[in-house]
């Protein structure tokens, strides 16, 4: 879209350049009997002036050569007829446009262009038989002002381009940080699931071993099958421990405490209150036992929502709502802080929470609330079954 607008603007300028050339030809034809009219014939003046103006059509292909050619041709024509260049208004406008184009070039080219403009303007004034002493100052100054305007446009465009580059870089950094946050949360989920699954498999292995030892001797085939199940379970546990070692980063402490769930939310809220943020807890529906992994993820969601309220929202109060349904559990964490703005980005922990919600096929939304503040809403289906 931006490129299309730029092309349309450039083509519009081309049309104006052609119209200026036509206007100069018409002006020479209509005012050929004026006292200050050029003394040469129309067969020379019309194509000569048109050629001077039409050189600007090459500004895209030769950004320096096109405006330079305009001023060099104007100076050369002034030797042939001193009144020709200053006579037509369009040539003066084209000279201003050329000076503006010079100012938008790189610094060395821009300075060389300024010298060409001032030198060309001085030559045109000198060859004009009707010139005054003041024109040696004011005429070059007029075009120099146009050059300064071009420099200002160049600097403004440079600042805009730099700002765009910074914005693109910031967006890339945000995307990278978000991907890192998601990857770290996935590793954390894997470590937590290891503890949950390892506990379940350990219990299964112990039960199988106990049953195997109780079987009578005549059931050797069954005892051997149970022994194979027990051996497979122990192998799986060993492989899971090795995988956990690969996922654990250097310096990570081994978690020996049981993984938390919604039954420990009140203790979490006490910690947040001690940190200085008053929090209320609302439980709706009949509390029920959740699958361990789902229960842990629900706890982490509450934890992340309250962490955002503490770190990013500058909130004075928060509330947590846990709503139990027949086939889902809903969690809402709301605060009365500043909501989402460029100055208080809620961080990348929410990207990790989104990963947790996706595992269970749930839904999550986070953003500014209509009444002010920030709200995190999640819905976790219980399709995985209850423990």
Domains of the chain, by residue range, sit at 2-131, 181-247, 262-381
Phi/psi-derived region of residue 376, left when phi > 0, alpha when psi is between -120 and 50, beta in every other case = beta
Does the pLDDT at position 36 exceed 70?
yes
Mean pLDDT of 150-166: 87
pLDDT at 209 (0 to 100): 75
Q: How confident is the model at residue 2 (pLDDT cuts 50, 70, 90)?
A: very low
% of the chain surpassing 70 pLDDT: 81
Whose CA is closest to 81, among 121, 120, 37?
A: 37
How far is it, in rounded angstroms, from Cα 41 to Cα 64?
31
Residue given tokens 């020379």 in the structure block: 44
250/198: higher pLDDT: 198
Does the pLDDT at position 1 exceed 50?
no
Q: For all residues of the chain together, what is the average pLDDT?
A: 80
Mean pLDDT lowest among 33-47, 229-243, 337-351: 337-351
Q: How confident is the model at residue 259 (pLDDT cuts 50, 70, 90)?
A: confident
Does the pLDDT at position 386 exceed 50?
no
Q: How confident is the model at residue 160 (pLDDT cuts 50, 70, 90)?
A: confident
pLDDT at 163 (0 to 100): 85
108/3: higher pLDDT: 108
pLDDT tens, position by position, 317-339: 889 999 998 888 999 998 887 76
223/244: higher pLDDT: 223
185/226: higher pLDDT: 226
Query: Which tokens sit at 380?
Result: 């976790």
Q: How confident is the model at residue 385 (pLDDT cuts 50, 70, 90)?
A: very low
Question: Which residues fall within 8 angstroms of residue 191, CB to CB, at 6 or more apart?
Answer: 244, 247, 248, 255
Task: State whether residue 17 is helix, strand or coil.
Answer: helix
Q: How confident is the model at residue 134 (pLDDT cuts 50, 70, 90)?
A: confident
How far is it, in rounded angstroms, from Cα 96 to Cα 267?
75
pLDDT at 371 (0 to 100): 65
CATH 3.40.50.20 fits 262-381, yes or no: no
How far is it, in rounded angstroms, from Cα 98 to Cα 58?
11
101/304: higher pLDDT: 101
pLDDT at 11 (0 to 100): 67
Strand blocks (E) in the chain? 279-284, 318-324, 328-335, 363-368, 374-381
Phi/psi-derived region of residue 314, left when phi > 0, alpha when psi is between -120 and 50, beta in every other case = left
Q: How confident is the model at residue 369 (pLDDT cuts 50, 70, 90)?
A: confident
Helix (H) or strand (E) segment spanning residue 286: none
Q: How confident is the model at residue 208 (pLDDT cuts 50, 70, 90)?
A: confident
pLDDT tens, position by position, 263-321: 888 888 888 888 888 899 999 988 888 888 888 888 888 888 888 887 766 778 889 99
pLDDT at 254 (0 to 100): 47
């Amino acid at each position: 879209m931006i490129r299309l607008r730029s092309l349309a603007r450039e083509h519009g300028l081309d049309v104006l350049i052609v119209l200026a050339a036509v206007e100069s030809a018409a002006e020479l034809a209509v005012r050929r009997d004026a006292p200050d009219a050029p003394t040469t014939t129309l067969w020379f003046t019309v194509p000569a002036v048109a050629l001077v103006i039409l050189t600007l059509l090459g500004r895209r292909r030769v950004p320096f050569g096109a405006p330079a050619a305009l001023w060099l041709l104007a100076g050369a024509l002034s030797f042939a007829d001193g009144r020709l260049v200053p006579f037509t208004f369009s040539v003066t406008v084209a000279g201003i446009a050329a000076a503006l184009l010079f100012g938008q070039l790189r610094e060395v080219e821009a300075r060389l262009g300024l010298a060409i403009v001032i030198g060309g303007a001085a030559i045109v004034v000198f060859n004009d038989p009707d010139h005054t002493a003041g024109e040696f100052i004011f005429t070059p100054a007029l075009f120099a002002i146009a050059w300064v305007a071009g420099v200002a446009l160049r600097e403004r465009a440079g600042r805009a381009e730099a700002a765009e580059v910074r914005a693109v870089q910031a967006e890339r950094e945000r995307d990278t940080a978000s991907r890192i946050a998601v990857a770290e949360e996935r590793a954390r989920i894997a470590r937590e699931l290891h503890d949950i699954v390892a506990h379940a498999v350990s219990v299964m292995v112990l039960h199988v071993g106990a049953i195997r030892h109780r079987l009578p001797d005549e059931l050797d085939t069954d005892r051997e099958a149970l022994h194979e199940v027990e051996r497979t379970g122990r192998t799986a546990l060993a492989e899971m421990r090795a995988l956990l070692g690969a996922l654990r980063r250097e310096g990570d402490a081994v978690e020996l405490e049981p993984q938390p769930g919604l039954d420990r939310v009140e203790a979490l809220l006490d910690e947040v209150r001690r940190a200085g943020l008053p929090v209320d807890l609302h439980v709706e529906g009949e509390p029920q036992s959740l699958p361990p992994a789902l229960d842990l993820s629900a706890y982490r969601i509450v934890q992340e929502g309250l962490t955002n309220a503490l770190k990013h929202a500058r909130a004075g109060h928060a509330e947590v709502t846990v709503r139990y349904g027949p086939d889902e559990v809903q969690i809402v964490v709301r605060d009365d802080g500043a909501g989402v703005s460029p100055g208080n980005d809620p961080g990348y922990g929410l990207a990790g929470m989104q990963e947790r919600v996706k595992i269970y096929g749930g839904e999550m939304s986070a953003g500014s609330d209509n009444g002010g503040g920030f709200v995190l809403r999640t819905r976790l289906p219980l399709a995985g079954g209850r423990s």
